[in-house]
Chains A and B, each alone.
Chain A
Amino acid sequence: MKRRPLALFLFILLSLAAALGQSGGELKFYVHSDPKTFDPLAVADDASETIRYLTGGVLLRVNRRTQQAEPELATSWTIARDGRSITFNLRQQVYYSDGSPFSAEDVAYTMQRLMDPGLHSPTGDAFRSGSGAVHSHVDSPTRITITFPAPVAGLDKLFDQVAIVSSRSANKERAALGPFYVADYKPDSYVLLKRNPNYWRRDAAGRQLPYLESVRLGIQPNRDIEMMNFRRGEIDLINWLDSEYFDRLALQSPALVHDAGPGLDSEQMWFNQAPNAPIPAYKRQWFRSTNFRRAVSQAVNRADLSRVVYGGHAQPAAGPISPANQFWFNSKLHAPSYDPTGALRLLQQEGFRLQGTSLVDREGHGVEFSIITNAGNKSRERMATMMQQDLGKIGISVHVVTLDFASLLERITESYNYEGALLGMANTDLDPNAQMNLWLSSAENHQWNPKQKSPETAWEAEIDRLMREQAASLDPAKRKACFDRVQEIAVEQQPFIYLVYKNALSAVSATVANASPVVLRPQTYWNIETLSMRLQTASKH
């Protein structure tokens, strides 16, 4: 009987702690390779990106839920009317993890290093608006103005990726301004991040953030093992789940999986229209025909692709921007409806006809082509096989060819020895400027017909003009209008036949409090500062 009050007290304590979350605790999850660098300015791989997000202090942060820029180390900022410079007012009394103070000098030093061509920083590349140097003028320890040689559209949000490194600390890039710092790294095993004791941010109750004591990033390339260890409770979250794994986990523990809806990533196919491609001229003529591409697009059952290949965790795609991108998505566009009859009508307009069950062109060539995709990507292989059957219904014979990734890249970027390709696009940036290298006809990644000296079609010339116009403008409404039109042209002309937008799927253990997965990366730990570990003894999911 004497034990009852004690048990009651413990129960209340545990309940309170579970409800509120608690300071301390270690969050464990996997990255899928060793980080290539700990220098936040040279990040080019996912693992390093994860570490940068968790350790880097930035001037402003794009809120992953609202997609709006919010103050961080900068309390406010102003972009000049000409769009060439930005002035930041900085937070005072901020210190790096090693105790060295933060000031405008650090921002200047960071920009100088970031724009150094020798660093080959992908983050720095986003700021290169024209030839000439980037100048930083330190107005005071808490105020800095950065000037670019030409206007940079969407300038402020680009600073979301720029972790400010210390100009004075002996630890240089290891001195962190973010919620954690790198405490230990064992190659092929783990990276241990510990709470930054000098982190500036506090919660509403005045408690210093982050709540977590540490984050352990295990290095595990195998997704099966990741899934198995999540189920065993050895890791606390999976940031990105395959739809197959998602459904399997949902069967056992529906409360742990999260489908945040369509993400930024799309899957698409395209035909090779390059004039120097070693393919028969009559096939190039088909691929260059808008009606042919539109017919193929209409003959593909996107709803089936979403349902069968992704178990319903994908949405039929219309254009290059998914609804996940709240500002830039063109809501007037809709995915083409599955219409094999309409597709045949379009093909007949181009002189194609059915001969028995096979489609032939006006010269009598049977319509057949190959679609290449990367071996090992089961979703793409399945989509290609389903398209094979869909297009077979309108008499088109499709050969699905899976190639190792190196051979595939060689064909689509160097020899152009292919007919159709099915690949995906991983969008990490919300701003369309990140897609300049895709839409400009002169760009290397203008995949259907790259590196054009001058636009070969009127619609490509129009896209070039609109993309340049939006990049040069600082008026969001004007930029939006330009890029909306680019999306409309893309849907009209179908240079890319967009198939699906994949949903952002993740899994978070019940031991993690305050998790609220979103569609933008990093889906599960975007609010890392407020995540905490619940007091729970059950570890099995």
Chain B
Amino acid sequence: MRRVRQFAWLLLALTVLASLGAGVWAPADYAMQFREVPNSPPSHQHLLGTDELGRDRFSRVLYGTRISLLMAPAAALLSTLLATLVGGVAGYLGGWWARAAMGATDLFLSMPWLFLLLVVRAMMPLNVAPVTSVAVTFLLLGLLGWAGSARVLCAGVRSLHDSDFVLQARASGLHELRLLAIQVLPNLKPVLLAQFWISIPVFIISEANLGILGLGVSEPLPSWGSLLREMESFTSFGFEAWKLAPLVLLVLVVSSFQIILSQEEVYA
């Protein structure tokens, strides 16, 4: 298992490095349309061929990876912070507060988030640059994705709140805020890290879902979601296997995230 985890780390590191160096490795601009050679197979000029508009697929995979791999952790951070705020306060205060906060969380969890995302996205201003659309897409994902983590954090804080060492600290006259800062939060760190880490592949896949529906990152910016759209017509797989490159990368990266996070950490 250790070797597998090391391999997963290596794969993630290589993917991140390759995407960060997209400006160096990419043979063409991700938006450049080589209109004379749309849908071309792999060649010296285009290692993974070109897409339907003649754009270099290898360059788009590199840039798309950068976007998905940079923005998903940002969304995960935002959702973990929100979850900490809601779940932490509810768990620490307990009683009516906890019931109200968890009720709201349950309500949030029961909502069809995909439709919620569609509605929120439809209300957004239209004249936004593609880069802004990326930020907004992941911001929305982060703002809407905190509820599951909040429940876990609430339970974690509740358990800490009732633990012997916290009771002892409180009995010794430690101020509540100080108690929170030096006793509760440090002990909550593994849960927070686990929630953050789990959320990253979730947001990667969420963006991919939106992208497949054509509602993710705006053209001409690539993301894994928009790249995966090429595979909608599954009848083409037989003779255009190179189109699977973004899917293979997505599966490898998401699996790597899951492998790195050990079972103990998941259930911490």
A-side residues, CB < 8 A to B, are 224, 227-228, 244-245, 248, 304, 307-309, 368-370, 372, 375-376, 378, 381-382, 384-386, 388-389, 399-404, 407, 417-419
Distance (whole angstroms) from the CB of B30 to the closest CB of chain A: 12
Provide the B23-60 mask, 1 if CB < 8 A to any CB of A, else 0: 00000000101010010000000000000111000000
Does B235 belong to the interface (CB within 8 Å)?
yes
Contacts of B130 in A (CB 8 A): 399
Contact (Cβ within 8 A) A224 B233:
yes
Closest Cβ of chain A to B241, distance in Å, is 15
Decide if B127 touches A308 in the complex (CB within 8 Å): no
Interface size class of B (residues with CB under 8 A): 20 to 34
CB contact list, B50-89 vs A, under 8 A: 52-54
Question: Per-position contact with A for B221-246: 1 when CB-CB < 8 Å, else 0?
Answer: 00000000100111110000000000
Asked if B213 contacts A369 (CB within 8 A), the reply is no
Q: Which residue of B lies closest to A402 (CB)?
A: B214
Nearest CB in chain A to that of B55: its residue: A385
Q: Is the CB of B52 within 8 A of A227?
A: no
* Residues from chain B with Cβ under 8 Å of A369 in the complex: 127
A370 near B127 with CB under 8 A, answer: yes
Is B33 within 8 A of A386, CB to CB? yes
Taken together as a complex, chains A and B put the C-alpha atoms of A382 and B126 apart, in Å, by 18
Closest to A225 in B: B235
* Contact in complex: A388, B35 (CB < 8 Å): no
Give the residues in chain A near B35, CB-CB below 8 Å.
304, 307-308, 386
Distance in angstroms from A414 CB to nearest chain B CB is 13
Please, which residues of chain A bring their CB within 8 A of the CB of B219? 381, 384-385, 388, 400
B residues in contact with A399, CB < 8 Å: 126-130, 218
Which chain B positions have C-beta within 8 A of A382?
A: 52-53
Which residues of B are found within 8 Å of A245, using beta-carbon distances?
A: 233, 235
Residue pair A407, B213 in contact (C-beta under 8 Å): no
Are B214 and A389 in contact (CB-based, < 8 A)? no
Q: Jot down 19 A-B pairs with beta carbons below 8 A, ordered by A.
A: A224-B232, A244-B233, A248-B235, A308-B52, A308-B54, A309-B52, A369-B127, A375-B214, A376-B213, A378-B52, A378-B232, A382-B52, A386-B35, A399-B218, A400-B218, A401-B126, A402-B214, A404-B118, A417-B126
Known: A308-B54, A381-B219. A370 touches B214 (CB 8 A): no
Q: Which residues of B contact A368 (CB under 8 A)?
A: 127
> A419 contacts B53, CB within 8 Å?
no
Q: Closest B-chain residue to A380, C-beta based?
A: B214
Name the residue of chain A whose CB is nearest to the CB of B52: A382
- The B interface is mostly helix, strand or loop, or mixed, namely loop
Q: Which residues of B contact A (CB under 8 A)?
A: 31, 33, 35, 38, 52-54, 118, 122, 126-130, 213-215, 218-220, 229, 232-236
Task: Label chain A's interface by main secondary structure.
Answer: helix
C-alpha gap A228/B234 in the complex (Å): 10
Structural contact, A418 and B229, CB atoms closer than 8 A = no
Further 19 A-B residue pairs, CB within 8 A, beyond A224-B232, A244-B233, A403-B215? A224-B234, A228-B235, A244-B52, A245-B233, A245-B235, A248-B235, A304-B35, A309-B52, A370-B126, A385-B220, A386-B35, A388-B219, A388-B220, A399-B127, A399-B128, A399-B129, A399-B130, A403-B122, A407-B118
Taking a contact as CB atoms under 8 Å apart, the answer to whether B53 and A386 are in contact is yes
Contact of B213 among A375, A386, A400, A419 (CB under 8 A): A375
- Which are the 10 A-B pairs with shortest beta-carbon distances? A375-B214, A407-B122, A370-B126, A385-B219, A400-B219, A402-B214, A401-B126, A308-B38, A370-B127, A375-B215
Contacts of B233 in A (CB 8 A): 224, 244-245
Contacts of A388 in B (CB 8 A): 219-220
Quick one: given A308-B52, A382-B53, A399-B127, are A389 and B33 in contact (CB under 8 Å)? yes
Q: Is the CB of B220 within 8 A of A224?
A: no
A248 and B52 CA atoms in complex are apart in Å by 13
Q: How far is the CA of A15 from the CA of B232 in the complex (A)?
A: 42
**In angstroms, how far is the closest chain B Cβ from the Cβ of A476?**
42
Closest to A283 in B: B127
* Chain B residues within 8 Å of A375, by CB: 213-215
Residues in B with CB closer than 8 Å to A389 are 31, 33, 220
Q: From B51, which residue of chain A is reached at the shortest CB distance?
A: A382
Q: Is the beta-carbon distance between B54 and A401 smaller than 8 angstroms?
A: no
* Contact partners of A418 in chain B: CB under 8 A: 126
The chain A residue with its CB closest to the CB of B210 is A375
Option from B53, B118, B234 in Cβ contact (under 8 Å) with A385? B53
Q: Which A residues lie within 8 Å of B54 (CB)? A: 308
Contacts of A417 in B (CB 8 A): 126
Question: In the assembled complex, which residues on chain A have CB atoms less than 8 Å from the CB atom of B234?
Answer: 224
Known: A382-B52, A399-B127, A400-B218. A248 touches B236 (CB 8 A): yes
